[in-house]
Amino acid sequence: MVQSGKTGKNTATLAQALQLGLQYQTNGKIPAALNLYGDILKQIPNQPDALHLSGLCHYQNGDHRKAVDLMRSSIHHNPNNATVHSNLGVALIELSMVSDAEHHFRQAIALQPDHIESHSNLAAILGNQNHTNEAIRHFEIVLGHNSDHLASLRGLAKLYVHIGKTDEALDLYARALRLMPNDADLHTDLAVALNLVGHPGKALQHHLQAISLQAGVRRHLACFATTIENCAFTSTNDALESALSDVLNCNQINPRSATKATLAVLIHKDRFNTAVERISNAAGSVEKLNPADLDTLQGQPLFLQALKAHPLSNLRFERTLTSLRQIMLFKDGGKSGFYVPLIAALAAQCFNNEYVYALTDAERTKVAELDQQLYNNIMADKDFNMEIPAILACYKPLYEYEWAERLSRKNLPNHLKSLFEQQFHEPNQERYLRDQIPQLTGIDDDISQAVRSQYEENPYPRWNHTTLFQTPKPIDETLKSYPLMMDLGDYQSPAHPQILIAGCGTGKHSIDVASRFKDVTILAVDLSLSSLSYARRKTEQLGLTNLTYGQADILKLNELNRQFDLIECGGVLHHMDNPMAGWRVLCHMLKPGGLMKIALYSEIGRKAIVQVRDFIAKQGYKSTADDIRQCRQDILASDSDAKNTLLDSTDFFSLSDCRDLIFHIQEHRFTLLQIEQYLTDLGLEFIDFETTESQKFNRQRNAINQGDKGDRLKNWHAYEQKNPSTFAGMYQFWCRKPQS
């Protein structure tokens, strides 16, 4: 029994009961604490402290909605408790009710000006909303009261990085690390900052420390994968190679940067480097092969992982692997099957890059001969060298061989099982899914039909893994938060946004969006059934259920009679006969006040690509696999100014990607002044560019955004003329349809 005054024989004061409940909470005995607070509330209904502490219990249990309800009730009965306002704000953030949270943090500060947790949490909100100066002021208030306040040290450091106060930011991170030297998240935060300000080498050490402290945590691996894109490796070690292996094994991180880094670090192993060099110089000659070099390559599991994960965008390794493939084809394989792991990894790489490597007539003849021999042996149930199906899979996918279906039912070594999964079972699954994708519109436009034909033959992009967002957030919070920090005006994200991905390709884009934004429902459309079936397979593989796919032409999407809260169209409009016609359709389908993300080619940024497209037209190359292979070799043998641009592009090292890059049936390019006019014609308001570019780009964006909104694209155009590689990939920008 509880009473509010002195205790009797079997009673306790309210203060004693509340103190006992707190002890239960501190010791993790949440049910006991809730029972005690329940008893208090039965005897003293609406007792504010019991309501507040009950709310904290539910917060600890993860029931944030219940926590908010109880704390709001506590404030209703006692509105002057700063701590309750502060804790309510924290719970509201968990429900993405950021504006409400901000209100309660401000209330707490008004009641208790030195309430440092409220200052810190309010500063974090303001920083995420690009109210940088006010956020800094609140963080400084906290650190004035407590110079070791960890959250404020981190938050202020992140803001200092954003505004270019690099030295101050790094000093704050150093202070935080002295307080918490084994905090993995802090090491990752510091590493991200170091990479952003151009110190990837220093960042690498903190990434590896974070990964060693919390092995397998995706955030640490994903941030590490971003940093290594900018690293120039001069050596290797076990910790680095282990981290690279973890990234390559993670099916929710794009392996592109890890495969590139893997080659860069392994080349510092003398035996490996020597083997690569000798195999490349052998130029496919079995007589010039040193057999020990095959053992060296096979003895590097990280190298085999990289081969299986992603196309290698490295000319030196392309030449080595082209030579290796030829050597394995012509060498006397014997019956041991010893090199199945190496050949299977090579076959996976060839499948990943869609057999883009140069091919000789002698190889074609030998492949046909081995194909027939293997067919005869399998049909007759005779033994055969297990290397042979892997060798043949280096030249065309397994599903194209007549013997593959029968062999797929046999008990195969693990390396061949994986190869059959990639090259036989998954393509068969796509053929099954192809018939289940609804046709939402007709496809009548001549250019639309031609583009569809290209992507039926070469779905784009081919990918194995993509980096998923760990914690989906509302659209407004995502765009206003660090690192994008966009000014969205009065925009507020709908509770359950309807999103259209217009031209989703093989699903990488739509899957990224599905993991990025909270409580969304997505319709993703494309011209190509081959691309859509690939997208559907990957979506099901990842277990995503908020995505629907359909075949449609953007020009006819009005037939759906639907409108969307957000439309994304990346790298699609510039492949239409009349990009503005397609853009008008999308604009009509966007709800008033809705957002649109568009990606278009830059006229200035693609000058080298235009040179290559002119070369292709003059030479008369067709967009067949053989002509693309031959064109690549001719470009590599030339002294073209554009060659280095192509070698810097990952798209050049894969057949479908290369076709999309320089062989596309239709391409338009734009200047920012043209885009400004199009936005005006469509009645759309430019918001900002989205980029993960360097600190230099972010400083320029901050400078331009501080000026007149109406001059932003003109100022960017002037900047791009002086820095023509700024938008070498594409312009990727956000815009908004007015409310009326």
DSSP 235-271: ---HHHHHHHHHHHH-TTS--HHHHHHHHHHHTTSHH
Percent of the chain with pLDDT over 70: 97
What pLDDT is attached to residue 337?
80
Distance of CA 173 to the CA centre of its chain: 26
One-letter amino acid at 657 equals: D
Which of 344-353, 556-565, 686-695 shows the lowest per-residue confidence on average (mean pLDDT)?
686-695
What pLDDT is attached to residue 198?
86
Cα distance between residue 289 and residue 275, in whole Å: 10
pLDDT of 15 strictly over 70: yes
What pLDDT is attached to residue 349?
98
Cα distance between residue 550 and residue 569, in whole Å: 15
One-letter amino acid at 290 equals: N
Cα distance between residue 50 and residue 54, in whole Å: 6
Asked if 238 and 265 count as a contact pair (C-beta separation under 8 A), the reply is no
pLDDT of 6 strictly over 50: no
Mean pLDDT value across residues 490-498: 95
Mean pLDDT value across residues 570-591: 97
Exposure string of 666-677, with b = 16+ CB inside 10 Å and e = fewer, is ebbbbbbeebbe
Distance between first and last Cα of the chain = 62
Distance of CA 560 to the CA centre of its chain: 30
Decide: helix, strand or coil at residue 405. helix
Which residues, 6 or more positions from 682, have their beta carbon under 8 angstroms from its beta carbon?
Answer: 583, 584, 587
Cα distance between residue 11 and residue 6, in whole Å: 8
What pLDDT is attached to residue 5?
44
Label residue 431 by pLDDT band (50, 70, 90).
very high
Mean pLDDT value across residues 417-426: 97
Domains and CATH numbers, the chain: 269-433 (no CATH), 446-604+669-736 (3.40.50.150), 607-662 (no CATH)
Rounded to whole angstroms, the maximal C-alpha distance in the chain is 102
Size (the chain), residues: 740
Asked if 299 and 271 count as a contact pair (C-beta separation under 8 A), the reply is no
Mean pLDDT value across residues 124-131: 87
Helix H or strand E segment including 203:
helix 200-213
Asked if 194 and 210 count as a contact pair (C-beta separation under 8 A), the reply is no
Decide: helix, strand or coil at residue 80. coil
Decide: helix, strand or coil at residue 543. coil
Cα distance between residue 584 and residue 558, in whole Å: 10
Burial class (CB in 10 A: 0-12, 13-18, 19+), 122: buried
The pLDDT tens digits of the residues spanning 187-198 come to 999 999 899 888
The pLDDT tens digits of the residues spanning 605-662 come to 999 999 999 999 999 999 999 999 999 999 999 988 889 999 999 999 999 999 999 9
Mean pLDDT value across residues 276-296: 96
pLDDT of 10 strictly over 50: no
Asked if 493 and 519 count as a contact pair (C-beta separation under 8 A), the reply is no
The pLDDT tens digits of the residues spanning 510-565 come to 999 999 999 999 999 999 999 999 999 999 999 999 999 999 999 999 999 999 99
What pLDDT is attached to residue 9?
39
Cα distance between residue 36 and residue 24, in whole Å: 9
What pLDDT is attached to residue 7?
37
What pLDDT is attached to residue 641?
85
Percent of the chain with pLDDT over 90: 86
Q: Which residue has the higher pLDDT, 10 or 269?
A: 269
